[in-house]
Chain A
Amino acid sequence: MELFTPLTRPLAAWRDRLLGRGDAACTVPILDGVLQPNQRLETAAVAWAAPTGSLELRDLVSDGRQLWLADGPRLRALTPQADGRLASEERLVAAGPITALCALPERLGGGVAYAVAGREVQILGGSHHGRRWTGLAERDFTAVNGLAAGGDALIVTDASAQHAPDDWQRDLMSLGASGRVVRLGLAPVDDGKDRSDRVLADGLRHPFGAVAHGSALWVSESWRHRVVALGAGDRPSPVLDQLPGYPSRLAPAGGGGFWLTVFAGRTQLVEFVLREREFRQRMTASMPPELWIAPQLRPPRSFLEPLQGGAIKQMGVLKPWAPPRSYGLVIRLDAAGRPLASLHSRVDGQHHGIVAAAECAGALYVLSRGAGRVLRLDLNTLAPETGA
């Protein structure tokens, strides 16, 4: 049968398109089991809110004592206060928006690594202070949206070869598959460790953040709705797939396992549009991304945005189970990548576009890019469900 697949595959694809089966089926996993919706994110306390508009907060990491926040071109250190709020201190103003952060542990020399406009990775403080990278292997960085500390290197996710990090919708709508994961060697000079800079994986569909897990590396691959593990020399293998949304960054959780943030929900309409080449081309060529039929980071703000039937207000109420144009979701994974619990802000809520989560001083801080807020959830109240 293998012999005939080149012949049968186009036929099967044609049949699927005709009948809406297989790859042509616009089905989306439902929020069920541990992903059953709640309003934990929506009702979470606001620990810090951006003074200037939303969408400017791009990443949030913890170094154990304090949080680091990328607020436009500003790098802020946020210190938890007794009242649950965060005190902000500006540490740096970069040349462009800071698109990713990583607090480096002592074994890598300490300090904070940050990416500027997706094109440049720099280190502030620590023994590597001042080092910078602008690309690797004949390819400039274009869309660095995630930095992570590996065993002996800084891990970089470069989401796309064509589109800047903020142009992620265009990457999705052009079916982008040019993301890569890169390691930048940071090990000390003389203990015989690997100090090379290497491309670990290429051809990923919008990798968005990574985390080290033992000797492997977990990377969230947004457009394939999954988290993959990169081992030494292996092809990426899925740890968790068929997510109901587009995953963003991963952060270690206290009791083992990880926090996976999901920055938008999938809808059948978007899945359908992704299979409609001509419509996608005409749409992306003729209107700004916030008016596209595409996932968004925040709820609709203009009547020019497309509306789905389920989102029509009935008796003055927007139903929280309407198809999500934007959504807020954080998933707690155990060490094997199985979901343990989830935190939601539903369609009728505000705290959407979750791009990062970080534990610090007994609390989980969640970055809602759509609302421009850092949310705080007490880890003790989350403990029973999350197994922390």
Chain B
Amino acid sequence: MNDTLTRLRYRWWPDHVIGEVLAKPWMETAIPMGVLIAVAFTLSGLIPGFLAADQLASTARQAGELGFLVLGLALVMIGGGVDLSIGSIFALTNFVALLCLHELQWPLAPALAATVLAGMALGAVNGLLIGYLRLRAFLTTLITLIVFRAVYELVNADHATAIAAHLPDSPTWDFLGSGLFLGVTAVVWVFAFVALAGHVFLTRLRPGWHVMAIGGSRRAAHNAGIAVRRSIAWTYVASGGLTALGSLFFASRLASVGGDIGQGLEVTVLTAAVLGGIGLGGGRGSVTKAVVGLLIVLLITNGLTTLSPSGGVNRMVLAIILITAAVVDIRWVKNRHRIVSRVYVSPDFLELPPAPSCAPDSGTVWAMNDKLRSVEVIGLGQVEGPEDVILDEDDHLYSGSRHGDIVRFLAPDYQRREIFAHIGGQPLGMAFDRQGNLNVCVGGMGLYQVTPQREVRKLTDETNRSWHSVNDDSRLRLADDLDIAADGRIFFSEATRRYEMSEYAVDALESRKSGRIICYDPRDGSTRTVIDHLLFPNGISMLPDGESFLFAQTSAASVSRYWFEGPKKGRIEPILTGLPGYPDNINLASDGHFWLALVGMRGPALDLAMRMPAFRKRMTQRLPFDEWVFPNINNGCVLKFNLQGEVLETLWDPSGVNHPMITSMREHKGWLYLGGLSNNRIGRYRLPEGAGRPDFVHYAHRWGSGFSRSGAEQGRA
């Protein structure tokens, strides 16, 4: 009864979504957004008509003009710098625009270009000093702030009267200042466009990523080959240009050359950027944050101006809100990953059928024996993490290793070892195709192929994104085992979409249905998910009917059959359920039955914990990883079963001295070769006389003789 309630609770309440949402990068903007909404609500409550259309339009116009500056400063800050001179640049470019249009009476287009170029040139001064000469950003821009301001005051004194005397006759210029398009001022449209472009630049384009990387770690970016100095210089140029853009709209609206233009602007802009959550240390920020920060500052200043308390109170309120927001934001950013790591692991309810007894005296096919005690050891200490093993027609033995290699042990005695190919990620399941290519699932990378000429090719590393997942689940995180259909389609399992290879055990503990089986079609290069919501799908083995395959679900302790063609297409039927251990790879046996590796055994304490998700959740929160109760993968066995779901034979080694862990097995010419994910050796077991066909070569049986030899000969030639 209790279990039923728990089951329902965990079926319908998506615990894992909270963690996935919190893990999203855009959650960093959550606090500034919250502040913005709170400010808007509070002020609209205090001030009647605060959020009315005309007020909003005025705020939007201000936001547009200042927004360019905030964007520029944000870019500089993301790159790890700061630009205090924007106020002075603003004043100077405002002057340039008015000089060109009013006094010199240039046409509009060259005047606009001259203004923006002037801004970029001023920015370039900063860029040169900070980017190339590597001066301190804070000091340098403080100096240019003073210098530019001094220049402005000098030239302004000479030209102020001339500028005030003329008025340009340009409707376009007037439109920039006060024109409406679809009821919204021009400046807002232009700003929206620039902001969108800025967002694309930062998140989708290479130079934007470079700036982000430099801000995150200058040294690492340099080591990665990014032109650090040039990129930094360009951020200041861009900041100058954007400031000029803002000043253009300001000039067209007010046409003013007052002495206090742009004074103290850098503080407002800097406040907006910091309040939006753009890190002063660099590497953190976005256009959204810049805009949100700006809106907060504008709403507060406008609101306080309307309320018109005495000046001191006004600034005090602003300061308090800024401090509070900054503190909350810093704590949030600092602790977000902790919150995520607390809530991300979200165990699900899992009730496994009772396991059969494996006691030596149980009298069943499961009764433990010590047949595998005499396993021969190959390559002790020469290979680490051979999850799967495979042999070619010349009896050479291939296995993966955690160093990212495919290791080949040479027949006949397997004493000599060579690196057959280096892939980079840990190779897991392996299968030969008709052409003799070795197809490999690589943890963390996807599906790869090694040709007989040892050329490594990526087949696929992504599938279609599912609509119900918060995480982007298109990238393959833990491709696991594969087999190849007669038409060349490769069906492979992905154990989980929520964890990386190194965290596979966390997924096993979580036991949420987040695995899937995916089909790669070499004919058109497409990749599609064919079965979703599986519990750690693992081994895959094609069936001779050519239209179905077997797959194991490790956490569910079951083996099922899936039809991908024919009249039963799309059907899934259970073959083995309630296994006493956790199934891993499945492979064909020479007598037409199937070998299955049990990578670990079930224990009653863990089975109970699986029915108590809240217990497991607290365990993951309170205890370090090494203290968690785990599936017992120190012991396992190999078994043979048929399609009727009968277990025909089990092979055990309770002591596990020669071969501690079994994740896969492959029958080859009267031997059974054994692999284990955390072993430093490969095992082989002599099948008893008459138990296996002495000429059986798995993939020669499958594709016809000569499939791999021909390829290997090409390789030698």
Question: Which A residues contact B (CB, under 8 angstroms)?
Answer: 20, 24-26, 267-269, 272, 276, 278-279, 282-283, 286-287, 291-293, 303-316, 318, 322-323
Contact = CB atoms under 8 A, between A and B. Distances in A.
B606 A306 contact: yes
Interface string B318-346: 00000000000000000000000000000
B132 interface: no
A305 B634 CA distance: 11
B604 A323 contact: no
Contact of A307 (B604, B630, B660): B630
B623 A268 contact: yes
A246 B601 CA distance: 29
Given A291-B604, A291-B605, A313 B660 contact: yes
Given A286-B608, A313-B660, A323-B627, A272 B619 contact: yes
B680 A279 contact: no
A88 to B, nearest CB: 30
Contact of B615 (A25, A279, A286, A315): A279
Contacts of A310: 626-627
Residue of A20, A267, A309, A318 with highest tally of chain B CB at under 10 A: A309
Contact of B603 (A20, A305, A311): A305
A287 to B, nearest CB: 4
A368 B104 CA distance: 101
Given A272-B619, A279-B615, A313-B660, A308 B605 contact: no
B469 to A, nearest CB: 27
Q: Which 7 A-B pairs have the closest CB atoms?
A: A310-B626, A303-B635, A303-B601, A315-B680, A306-B605, A307-B632, A287-B604
Given A26-B623, A287-B605, A304-B601, A309 B630 contact: yes
A309 B626 contact: yes
Nearest to B612: A279
22 contacts: A24-B622, A25-B622, A26-B623, A268-B623, A268-B624, A272-B618, A272-B619, A272-B623, A278-B612, A282-B608, A282-B612, A286-B608, A303-B603, A303-B632, A304-B604, A305-B605, A307-B632, A308-B629, A308-B630, A309-B626, A313-B661, A315-B680
Contacts of B618: 272, 276
B632 A306 contact: yes
Contacts of B632: 303-307
Given A307-B603, A315-B384, A20 B630 contact: no
B603 A304 contact: yes
Contact of A269 (B384, B621, B629, B634): B629
A20 B621 contact: yes
Contacts of B41: none
A147 B678 CA distance: 48
Given A312-B678, A316-B681, 19 more contacts: A268-B627, A272-B619, A279-B608, A287-B605, A291-B604, A293-B605, A303-B634, A305-B603, A305-B632, A307-B629, A307-B632, A309-B627, A310-B626, A312-B634, A313-B660, A313-B678, A314-B678, A315-B679, A323-B627
A306 B680 contact: no
Nearest to B601: A303
Contacts of A307: 603, 629-634
Residue of B505, B618, B622, B661 with highest tally of chain A CB at under 10 A: B622
Interface residues of B, number: 38
Interface string B621-648: 1111111111111110000000000000
Contacts of A308: 626-630
A267 B603 CA distance: 19
A269 B627 contact: yes
Contacts of B604: 286-287, 291, 304
A267 B627 contact: yes
A309 B504 CA distance: 12
A20 B635 CA distance: 33
Contacts of B661: 313
A318 B629 CA distance: 16
A311 B625 CA distance: 11
B626 A292 contact: no
Interface string B567-608: 000000000000000000000000000000000111111101
A283 B608 contact: yes
A272 B627 CA distance: 10
B143 to A, nearest CB: 49
Contacts of A303: 600-601, 603, 632, 634-635, 654
Residue of B606, B608, B621, B627 with highest tally of chain A CB at under 10 A: B627
B609 interface: yes
A344 B603 CA distance: 29
A322 to B, nearest CB: 8
Contacts of A272: 618-619, 622-623, 627
Residue of B606, B632, B678 with highest tally of chain A CB at under 10 A: B632
Given A309-B505, A309-B628, A313-B661, A276 B678 contact: no
A15 B609 CA distance: 24
B679 A316 contact: yes
Nearest to A301: B654
Contacts of B635: 303
A269 B628 contact: yes
A42 to B, nearest CB: 18
A282 B656 CA distance: 31
A283 B628 contact: no
A286 B609 CA distance: 12
A307 B661 CA distance: 14
A312 B656 CA distance: 13
A312 B634 CA distance: 6
Contacts of B608: 279, 282-283, 286-287
Residue of A283, A313, A322 with highest tally of chain B CB at under 10 A: A313
B597 to A, nearest CB: 15
Given A272-B623, A279-B609, A313 B629 contact: no
Contacts of B602: 304
Contacts of B384: 315
A311 B634 CA distance: 8
B660 A276 contact: no
Contacts of B623: 26, 268-269, 272
A39 B602 CA distance: 32
A314 B384 CA distance: 10
B358 to A, nearest CB: 8
Contacts of B630: 307-309, 311-312
Contacts of A279: 608-609, 612, 615
Contacts of A20: 621-622
Nearest to B598: A303
A292 to B, nearest CB: 6
Contacts of B600: 303
Nearest to B611: A282
Contacts of A293: 605, 629
